[in-house]
Structure 1
């Protein structure tokens, strides 16, 4: 793959025009509402009361400028890689021997879901950790997400993003580093592990992203394994709507996602049952789940709205569909991961993977743990516990 000769790293600052904020409020006020769902749970979709409370808060109490200030207080940059402008947050630890770590968010997330781990990872001594557990942290926005540019051509799948991330770390001068990801980020981080670029010491993931394609190969003997199969089957039958639409027709849903703020929010909320109920509880009842608060939820949705990335972020799923179809047609297994792999299973994940499942995908698993709390957006929900997992997972690699 050839990279552009423009290797410059440029500072980035967010400054949203006031007229854009006024337009957002006008569009929310003009929403045409459906009637209330007939079911008493989320089985018919995102509930009317949840979204109407979002609309009320979004237009009366929410302060986007506060988020701008928070984001602009962090070191942010952009750089061109392979024809796409990549946005990233880069926070260096005060501890000189810190281990560089690149973390990748997912959908419907953004760098917003990772902001809570910046302090615990870069400054562990202020969060119950040790100086020798510190990380230099790089948080890129995926191509087509957030403040990164949209790819202008096909082919921005996991492998291409993984190569771009390796180039980013090289451009920042890191010759030894580790990588982490969940959701889309898990797939990208998995690809980095299989490519094993120079300098990559190991990876950590918290979603067994390829499980849907190898269900028949995953053990189902123990009660835990059977429960995991039940959860995986439930997702593919009842929670797969967004995945199917985005992997087959991302452009079609994109028209709605860029035209209606409420339509965008409802689509983003309808991801998985556990996350939805946590979001609804934070929005309607004002009961946060760790870092998953009313404000951070609205920060994330508003970020998608102002960047106009509803369609472009969905296209990754279409690219993933092409990868899976091509692999199935060729009957080829992916190359093995040749760096140490660490995995944490969080109990409220869409399908909490047992160790036997993880070892099916990663036979030489170096670290595994079952956390006692946390779900699909574990770094967002439980930043302290999540950070503790990364410290433990990568500790053996610091002297390698």
Structure 2
């Protein structure tokens, strides 16, 4: 890839769709052991329902057309193809906003956010730039090893420079939250603020990787006790998907690249476990379809491996920070290192995927946080 910004359209060959359907037609189903349920993974009846819908009820071409109504581009940065949505507002006072998805997610995460951000009936407006992170979606395949969050942050800061934005905001969740901090750390003179989303389960899971965190918590304190219980539950019951990707991404990559049912189960499990509001079935299957057609199940696994083995944490970002906590309870303030004076909003509902679970709440918080930070942006290509 060269460094030119080129228009892009999603055009999955019909042969790839036919191949997917053929694979779904010849699934070899495992048995469901009597007396077991979702504690052992996605139940058999749920998987059969989802596979049946993907095979016969889901309209990929309709989703392809829907996504293609959003301007998309690709460019090469640091040897890696970067795919991104770039939707400009007609408002002259609009703030450029970099939206960064998490895992296991894609640009589909932001479909419901774009119109209210770009063309609000009132309040702040935004120019939206939503990349597929390296290794994910149409930014797959990876151009090589080493794509940690730090390297990704530097690449996306360069993307915003190429687009001509002198001042911009950054938002992210999950991996995207980490990358958002990296972008601000390397480009603090241009980043007006960083807004991230989290939830109690994600915060507790992240805490399991912080050296000495368990020793800092008091088991006699009700809040700390709850955190310790969640950390233990994640280590013993919820971290298997991450352990294999953090250690053997190539091995699990064979299955994710060869079996659409494994790719579907891999993501459907997390959509079920990490939400408290139902996500539309077609949104789930559209997300899985992008992983399948681009082979980015394996790419995402390699990115998780890179991060698990990286020491590239960047410098602290001395910019305004905003935190939106979904499914909020008292544990998150204990775990999230919010700087003094940070914007902090708590929402009762929604969890790991608020852009899909509670888009109206997320849009409102983005407006509240970035509204006072707006600065005029320079012109950028439409």
Per the normalisation by structure 2, the TM-score is 0.90
Deviation digits for residues 77-123 of structure 1 (CA, Å, limit 9, x no counterpart): 11111111110001111211111110111121100111111112112
8 Å CA contact retained: 1:203, 1:341: yes
Q: Which residue of 2 aligns with 1:391?
A: 367
Shift in CA distance, 271/154, structure 1 to aligned 2, threshold 3 Å: same
Shift in CA distance, 233/394, structure 1 to aligned 2, threshold 3 Å: farther
C-alpha distance in 1 between matches for 2:221 and 2:15: 57
Shift in CA distance, 153/202, structure 1 to aligned 2, threshold 3 Å: same
Q: Which residue of 1 aligns with 2:297?
A: 310
8 Å CA contact retained: 2:227, 2:331: yes
In the TM superposition, what is the alpha-carbon distance from 1:15 to its structure 2 partner?
1.3
CA root-mean-square deviation = 2.3
Alignment of 1:129-278 (within 5 A): 130-131=122-123, 133-207=124-198, 208=203, 210-214=206-210, 215-216=213-214, 223-271=222-270, 274-275=273-274
C-alpha distance in 2 between matches for 1:47 and 1:108: 19
Alignment coverage as a number of residue pairs: 368
Structure 1 portions without partners, runs of 5+:
279-288, 328-332
Structure 2 portions without partners, runs of 5+:
377-382
Query: 3-state DSSP class of the match of 2:364?
Result: helix
Shift in CA distance, 354/225, structure 1 to aligned 2, threshold 3 Å: farther
Alignment of 1:240-389 (within 5 A): 240-271=239-270, 274-275=273-274, 289=278, 292-323=279-310, 326=311, 335-347=315-327, 353-358=331-336, 361-389=337-365
Deviation digits for residues 359-392 of structure 1 (CA, Å, limit 9, x no counterpart): xx23335201111211100111111111111111
Shift in CA distance, 100/39, structure 1 to aligned 2, threshold 3 Å: farther
C-alpha distance in 2 between matches for 1:335 and 1:264: 35
In the TM superposition, what is the alpha-carbon distance from 1:142 to its structure 2 partner?
0.7
C-alpha distance in 2 between matches for 1:123 and 1:224: 41
8 Å CA contact retained: 1:342, 1:365: no
Query: 3-state DSSP class of the match of 1:147?
Result: helix
Alignment of 1:54-203 (within 5 A): 54-125=50-121, 130-131=122-123, 133-203=124-194
8 Å CA contact retained: 1:346, 1:374: yes
Query: 3-state DSSP class of the match of 2:264?
Result: helix
In the TM superposition, what is the alpha-carbon distance from 1:228 to its structure 2 partner?
3.5
C-alpha distance in 2 between matches for 1:115 and 1:38: 40
C-alpha distance in 1 between matches for 2:276 and 2:214: 30
8 Å CA contact retained: 2:275, 2:357: no
Q: Which moved more, 1:182-191 or 1:61-70?
A: 182-191
8 Å CA contact retained: 1:345, 1:353: no
C-alpha distance in 2 between matches for 1:252 and 1:164: 28
Per the normalisation by structure 1, the TM-score is 0.86
In the TM superposition, what is the alpha-carbon distance from 1:226 to its structure 2 partner?
3.6
Choose between structure 1 and 2 for higher RCO, CA contacts under 8 A separated by at least 6 residues: 2
8 Å CA contact retained: 1:219, 1:357: no
8 Å CA contact retained: 2:268, 2:284: no
